[in-house]
């Protein structure tokens, strides 16, 4: 076989391989990184947080409202294993724990344990959550509370899994 024929075959294989890799990359970016979600509409009214003996008590709608304000509606299932985004939400002062499963803009919020291994655990105090519910779109306030330790985030999944589920598109980026 002549060297010209070998070079042509090499070039053809290289081009096919390049096109295949580029196709996979474009597909990956389109499906995960730039997936388009309409902004979730926050309800105009949510019931006020009840406060008993200076301790706030939260309903499931308060947690959903807060997470939608943080753009968690952008989360979705991992395309490779179809596992939904899972968040454990701990309100320390109120002794309340909420479990959230998000798949394609659908929220399932419960005060009953829904899973063992969350992707993210959010810890905060009740008065911090009340403050955030009243000003949920304030990115600077959220960052200030994270920096001061008033909001503590514990990511349990690896960065690839978090990326595949859309966590980098929220206001609480890993």
Instruction: Say if CB 126 and CB 94 are below 8 A apart.
Output: yes
Report the pLDDT value the prediction gives residue 69, as an integer from 0 to 100: 80
Supply the pTM of this predicted model: 0.73
Q: d(Cα 9, Cα 107) in Å, to the nearest integer?
A: 52
Identify which of 139, 93, 101 has the alpha carbon closest to the alpha carbon of residue 119: 101
Report the pLDDT value the prediction gives residue 34, as an integer from 0 to 100: 47
In 10-149 the beta strands, taken as DSSP E runs, fall at 50-52, 55-57, 85-91, 96-103, 106-110, 120-124
| pLDDT of 167 higher than 70 | yes
Instruction: Say if CB 150 and CB 64 are below 8 A apart.
Output: no
More confident of the two residues 137 and 117:
117
Q: Calculate mean pLDDT across residues 10-18.
A: 82
Per-residue pLDDT tens for 33-53? 544 555 556 556 666 777 666
CATH code assigned to 50-169: 3.30.1050
DSSP state of 40: P
Q: Report phi then psi at 22, rounded to 5.
A: -65, -40
Residues 6+ apart with CB under 8 A from 152: 122, 123, 124
**Sorting pLDDT into bands at 50, 70 and 90, what band is 171?**
confident
């Amino acid at each position: 076989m002549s060297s010209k024929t070998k070079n042509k075959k090499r070039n053809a294989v290289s081009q096919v391989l390049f096109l295949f890799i580029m196709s996979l990359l474009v597909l990956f970016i389109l499906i995960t990184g730039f997936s388009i979600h309409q902004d979730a509409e926050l309800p105009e009214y949510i019931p006020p947080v009840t406060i008993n003996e200076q301790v706030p008590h939260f309903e499931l709608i308060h947690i959903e409202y807060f997470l939608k304000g943080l753009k968690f509606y952008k989360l979705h299932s991992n395309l490779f294993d179809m596992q939904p985004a899972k968040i454990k939400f701990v309100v320390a002062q109120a002794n309340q724990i909420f479990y959230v499963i998000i798949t394609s803009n659908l929220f399932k919020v419960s005060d009953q344990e829904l899973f063992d291994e969350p992707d993210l655990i959010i810890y905060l105090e009740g008065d911090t959550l009340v403050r955030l519910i009243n000003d949920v779109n304030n990115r600077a306030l959220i960052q200030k509370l994270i920096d001061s330790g008033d909001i503590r985030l514990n990511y349990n999944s690896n960065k690839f899994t978090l990326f595949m589920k859309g966590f980098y598109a929220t206001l609480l980026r890993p």
